[in-house]
Every structure is written in C-alpha cells, then in structure tokens.
C-alpha cells in the first residue's frame, strides 16, 4: 500500500545552521504518527515543509506517492491545525469551517450541508452562528480540526495543538483526538514535545533531536527498547549511571560506576568492549522496593539505602532512595499495594532490579 506521507532525505538549512538533517520516514494510511522532541529540535520545520510554508534544502516529500515539492501550500492535499489553532476571529464558526469549501468553489448549499455534518461529527451541532471568542478551549480545538477535515485532506498536520490547554482538558483532548482520528479515518501527523501526548495517541512515534530522527517505533518500543541514550533519557523517566565496563558475557555485562559500585545490565545487542565508558539507564518502575532484603533475592542488582524523600503523586508516587554505599539518589516507583503507605523519610529500605532492565549505551553516544 502506498504510504500517505513519505519523506526522504529531508534536509533544511538556514544559513549555516542545519535545522533538519536527512530525515526519512513514511506514514501508512489511516495512522497516527507523532514526531516527539524537545523544543528547537526541528520538528516544526519538518511540519512547515510538509505544509508548504518552507522549501526543503534537499530531499523529497511525497503525498500518496506524488511529490509535492513544487505545489504551493493552498494546493497541497494536507491541512494543518496550528499551535494556537488560528481560527479566523473575523468569521463565525460556520464561516470558519466553510472557508476552505468556499475557496474550493463549492455551492452554497453544499457548503452548508458539509459544515452541518462536520459540526455534528465533532458533537457541536448548532454552534455555527457563534463567534470564535464565545467558545471554550476544547470546542475551539474541535472546530479547528473540523475546519481542516471538511476538506478531506490526505494528511492532517497538528502542531502541538494541545499546548495552550490546561492539564485536565489536555488529558481529555488526547482521548478525543484519537477518537476523532479514528472517526475521520485520516492520517494524522502530530508534533509535540510532550511524551505523554505522543505515547497515548500514536501508532508510531519518531523521536527527534538536533535535526535528526533518533528512533522511529511504537510507544512501547521507544519506552522499553530505546535505540539511543537520548531516547532512553527523553522518553519516560529514568535513573542514569555512568561508569566503565568491567565484564562482558554475551548479552549481559557488568559496569563499575564512578563511585565504585558494580551494576549489572544488558547490552541488547549493542557492541561494547571491556573498559569502554558507558551509561546505564534503569526506569523507576523496574526497581522493586522492600523492607526485607530476602524479598529481592531473584534480582541480580541489589542495594540498601535510606529514603531521602517521598514524592506523593497518587498512582505515580515515588520515593528517592539514597544508597548506603555509592550510587547517589535513585528514583523508585512506590507500589500501590498499601504495603508502603506508612513509609517515612529516613526509613531503611532495600531495592533491586533485574539486569535486563538496565539499558546500556556507550557514553557520549547520542
């Protein structure tokens, strides 16, 4: 099947700085594709090249197999939901949604019908005559999407459209966006710096850093099998130790941290040599906490320490444990079994994790 969107070797230079460097990816029809990266990584530049507001320095963009390089933005079969939505304040809601249809030269009756359908689709029937400023943030969001979707674009681009919303609404809109995408059955390309938005909604995510794609994969892949140290550090929370490799044995390895402690980890197929500097990443939820050291006998990494602080956050509560002999502060997820409800600061605890939960990357590698 031809991908809806395909970028090959996409590069954009502004003077001496390279904003986007040799980015290649393809998005299959009907999928939700996210580009995740810190601000300034070049993701907006990619988006603007796809929409046609920027000319790539090099590379090709194909939509449904056809190159759109020489097609102006108003002729491309893609539409964009802007960061601040960019609804037209001088028009009412129906005119906003009908704008593109009017430009396409549809008859007034067709426009009215399609606008009504779109409003029903986004569950806001009967608001056509209202003014933009009368709508709530979430309603504006849906109108902005409807305004694009009435044009039946091959690809819908979304540029951090949830950024301006408050937390609660953002959580709800994540779910809503995903269901709207399913309802319209259109390819969405979504850019964000918020990993949770990307992880929740996307079929595939590209993690971007300094103009390049670090890794493309499902949320699960990125989370559990990061290809690079950047992905490991950027997607999800993690503990990180630097040290030197002491011993290699097939997929497992042992690393002596700079504070002198031995940690066991897995190479996951990456090539190392004894003596290399490396970083080990371990997620807080992979670490088990216990009052009794015996409970942790199945783990090959074990430590004892004291609780230095408790970060209560409901289901996402954590403790910070300071190791008795070395590795500094370790973030550990608190199990919700109630067993640790009485845990206090200063309490002595034992922690442990399996070595294959320790992702290891060569130090300095990106």
Partner 1 sequence: MRSEARLGLALLLTPLLLWLSLLIFLPHVDIFLVSLRERIGVGKYQISFANYLTFFNEPLYLWTFFRTAVMSMLATVITLLIAFPVSYYIAKMVKGRVQSGLFLLCLVPFWVSELVRTFGWMILLRETGIFSKLLQAIGLSDGPVEMLYNDGAIMLGLVYTSMLFMVVPLVTTLESLPDEVIEAGYDLGGNGVSVLREIIIPHAMPGIVSGCIVVFMLSLGNYLTPTMLGGKESLWFTELIYSQFIVRFNWELGAAFGFMLLILSSAIVWGMLKLTGQSLEKTMG
Q: Does 148 bind partner 1 (CB under 8 A)?
A: yes
- Compute the distance between CA of residue 201 and CA of residue 158 in angstroms, rounded to an integer: 12
Q: Which stretch binds partner 1 (CB under 8 A): 46-54, 198-206, 208-216, 275-283?
A: 46-54
Q: Does 71 bind partner 1 (CB under 8 A)?
A: no
- Taking CB under 8 A as the criterion, the residue among 17, 74, 298, 337 binding partner 1 is 74
Q: Does 147 bind partner 1 (CB under 8 A)?
A: yes
Q: Does 103 bind partner 1 (CB under 8 A)?
A: yes
Q: Which stretch binds partner 1 (CB under 8 A): 143-151, 280-288, 296-304, 320-328?
A: 143-151
Q: Does 189 bind partner 1 (CB under 8 A)?
A: no
Q: Are 226 and 283 in contact (CB under 8 A)?
A: no
Question: Smallest distance, Å, CB 24 to partner 1?
Answer: 24
Which is closer to partner 1, CB of 118 or CB of 231?
118
Q: Does 314 bind partner 1 (CB under 8 A)?
A: no
Q: Does 135 bind partner 1 (CB under 8 A)?
A: no
Q: Does 91 bind partner 1 (CB under 8 A)?
A: yes
- Compute the distance between CA of residue 123 and CA of residue 206 in angstroms, rounded to an integer: 31
Q: Which stretch binds partner 1 (CB under 8 A): 7-15, 39-47, 98-106, 274-282?
A: 98-106
Long-range contacts of 87-93, Cβ-Cβ distance < 8 Å, separation of 24 or more:
87/132, 87/140, 87/143, 87/144, 87/147, 88/132, 89/131, 89/132, 89/133, 91/132, 92/128, 92/129, 92/130, 92/131, 92/132, 93/119, 93/127, 93/128, 93/129, 93/130, 93/131, 93/132, 93/135, 93/143
Question: Smallest distance, Å, CB 298 to partner 1?
Answer: 55
- Taking CB under 8 A as the criterion, the residue among 2, 38, 40, 53 binding partner 1 is 53
Question: Smallest distance, Å, CB 277 to partner 1?
Answer: 44
- Taking CB under 8 A as the criterion, the residue among 73, 217, 323, 326 binding partner 1 is 73
Residue closest to 202 by CA, chosen among 227, 229, 235, 164: 235
Q: Does 100 bind partner 1 (CB under 8 A)?
A: yes
- Compute the distance between CA of residue 48 and CA of residue 259 in angstroms, rounded to an integer: 47
Q: Does 104 bind partner 1 (CB under 8 A)?
A: yes
Q: Does 17 bind partner 1 (CB under 8 A)?
A: no
- Compute the distance between CA of residue 158 and CA of residue 171 in angstroms, rounded to an integer: 16
Q: Does 89 bind partner 1 (CB under 8 A)?
A: yes
Which is closer to partner 1, CB of 89 or CB of 338?
89
Q: Does 338 bind partner 1 (CB under 8 A)?
A: no
Which is closer to partner 1, CB of 150 or CB of 254?
150
- Taking CB under 8 A as the criterion, the residue among 35, 118, 149, 151 binding partner 1 is 151
Binding mask 317-336 for partner 1 (x = CB under 8 A): --------------------
Which is closer to partner 1, CB of 118 or CB of 151?
151
- Taking CB under 8 A as the criterion, the residue among 84, 113, 131, 345 binding partner 1 is 84
Question: Smallest distance, Å, CB 52 to partner 1?
Answer: 8
Binding site for partner 1 (CB under 8 A): 51-53, 72-75, 79-80, 82-84, 86-91, 99-100, 103-104, 147-148, 151
């Amino acid at each position: 099947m031809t991908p809806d969107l395909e970028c090959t070797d996409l590069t954009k230079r502004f003077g001496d700085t390279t904003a986007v460097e040799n980015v290649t990816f393809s998005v299959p029809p009907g999928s939700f594709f996210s580009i995740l990266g810190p601000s300034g990584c070049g993701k907006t530049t990619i988006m603007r090249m796809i929409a046609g507001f920027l000319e790539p320095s090099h590379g090709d963009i194909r939509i449904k197999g056809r190159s759109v390089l020489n097609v102006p933005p108003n002729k491309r079969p893609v539409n964009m939901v802007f960061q601040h939505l960019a609804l037209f304040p001088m028009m009412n809601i129906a005119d906003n949604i009908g704008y593109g249809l009017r430009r396409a030269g549809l008859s007034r009756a067709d426009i009215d019908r399609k606008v009504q359908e779109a409003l029903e689709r986004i569950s806001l029937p009967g608001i056509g005559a209202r003014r933009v400023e009368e709508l709530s943030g979430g309603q504006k969001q849906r109108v902005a999407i409807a305004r694009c979707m009435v044009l039946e674009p091959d690809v819908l681009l979304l540029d951090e459209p949830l950024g301006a919303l408050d937390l609660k609404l953002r959580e709800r809109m994540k779910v809503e966006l995903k269901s709207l995408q399913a309802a319209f059955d259109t390819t969405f390309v979504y850019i964000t710096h918020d990993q949770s938005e990307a992880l929740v909604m996307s079929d595939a995510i590209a993690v971007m850093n300094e103009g390049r794609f670090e890794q493309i994969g499902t949320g699960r892949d990125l989370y559990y099998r990061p290809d690079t140290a950047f992905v490991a550090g950027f997607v999800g929370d993690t503990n990180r130790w630097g040290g030197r490799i002491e011993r290699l044995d097939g997929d497992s390895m042992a690393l002596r941290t700079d504070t002198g402690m031995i940690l066991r980890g897995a190479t996951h197929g990456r090539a190392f040599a004894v003596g290399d500097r490396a970083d080990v990443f371990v997620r807080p939820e992979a670490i088990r906490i216990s009052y009794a050291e015996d409970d942790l006998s199945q783990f090959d990494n074990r430590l004892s320490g004291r609780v230095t602080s408790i970060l209560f956050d409901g289901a996402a509560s954590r403790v910070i444990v300071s190791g008795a002999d070395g590795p500094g502060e370790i973030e550990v997820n608190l199990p919700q079994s109630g067993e640790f409800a009485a845990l206090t600061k200063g309490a002595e605890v034992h922690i442990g994790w399996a070595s294959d939960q320790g992702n290891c990357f060569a130090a300095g590698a990106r």
